[in-house]
Amino acid sequence: MKILQLSKYYPPTYGGVEIVAEFFSRAFIEQGHQVEVLTFGASNKRYKGTYGEDVYQTKEDIKIGSASFSVEYFLKLRKLIRDTRYDFVLVHLPNPFSHEVLKWFSKELNNNQTKILGIYHSDIINQIHLRDAYNLWFSRSLSMYDNFLCSSENLKQSSAILSKLPSGKVKIIPFCIDHHFEGKVNSGDKKYRGKFLAIGRMVPYKGFEFLINCFKDMPYELTIVGNGPLKTKLENKSPKNVFFVGEINEEKKFKLLTSHSALIVSSLNRSEAYGMTIVEAFSVGLPVIASDIDTGVSFLVQDGKTGYKFSIKDEVSFRERLHLFVNDPEKSQQMSKECVTFYDSHLTYAHFNSSLKKIINELC
């Protein structure tokens, strides 16, 4: 089969959506299919992806909010659709421009019996006025999608878009990771007790400011990994028990994941729709303390099993969870084992690949 993916960005630009898009390419190619990817970037170019996929990068002309727009993107998609008869087109959503451009060519795709799948990563959350207007507009053209795929039942039920669709129209496929690092958390090691880790881009919805305020008078340590527009502001207001390490490579990140008590995900709203870092933590047996935001995060972080949840921006609730990790090491060790079991059962690349193959076969 011939597959076309429409992704906002694509590796070597890496983020949560880009990682998932690359896994789709890998799985399809390993199943014997041909994959092409259309994406935005700083310039127009064509290159081979990691697994042999053909990537067409088009110059991003303007950006409104987080939405990208490009004349070349429109022209390139028109050429691809007219030159190639695709079996499937996958659109990574939200991506307003890709959706609108694809809608422009939906009749041609329908005539070619091409199936359109929406890979639904999250609702639009932060741009409130644009969100409401776009959701209304987007809802009027959902019929052009044959099916949607999303990462968890929690997201499906809580999404302003997906929750309105018939249950058979949305299929669940938990997103995965795949790595070669063999280390596991040593939950009984006292030198790691009371040391906590947070990883992510330093933007408002990640809740790092709330996190730092909570650690100001705590006897524990917090290490923050990542970069972003708020980094300098956060560094300037941080107490001595909070450490910033900036951007790091994968090997160092996994060493940090195996040398802390827990990973903290302090997101303030449903922009945190899944959390690939949580999956990484589970792969090495690291439990997670997370905001209860009723998305894929709640699917991953099962209270008392794979970690603890706390009410959004609730300092009392959050501090209680920290104390539990430090004061009940036996429970922490049990949760560490639960994390690995959950990862092995639901979140490996092998599981993702077989689930995708089953879904595609059903849709064919």
Kindly report, residue by residue over 289-300, the tens digit of the pLDDT: 999 988 889 999
The pTM of the full predicted model, rounded to 2 decimals, is 0.90
What is the number of domains present in the chain?
A: 2
> Could you tell me which of 347, 325, 340 has the C-alpha nearest to residue 274?
347
Positions in the chain short of pLDDT 50: none
Same structural domain for residues 216 and 171? no
Q: What is the pLDDT of residue 126?
A: 66
Q: What is the pLDDT of residue 105?
A: 94
Q: What is the pLDDT of residue 338?
A: 96
Q: What is the pLDDT of residue 66?
A: 76
Residue type for 337, please? K
Same structural domain for residues 79 and 222? no
Q: Residue 118 belongs to what domain range?
A: 2-177+348-363
Same structural domain for residues 145 and 37? yes
Q: What is the pLDDT of residue 138?
A: 80
User: What is the DSSP code string of 290-352?
Assistant: EE--SSHHHHH--BTTTEEEE-TT-HHHHHHHHHHHHH-HHHHHHHHHHHHHHIIIIIBHHHH
Same structural domain for residues 218 and 267? yes
Same structural domain for residues 260 and 165? no
Q: What is the pLDDT of residue 311?
A: 94
Q: What is the pLDDT of residue 127?
A: 63
Q: What's the CA gap between 156 and 137, in Å, rounded?
A: 19
Same structural domain for residues 142 and 240? no
Q: What's the CA gap between 174 and 248, in Å, rounded?
A: 26
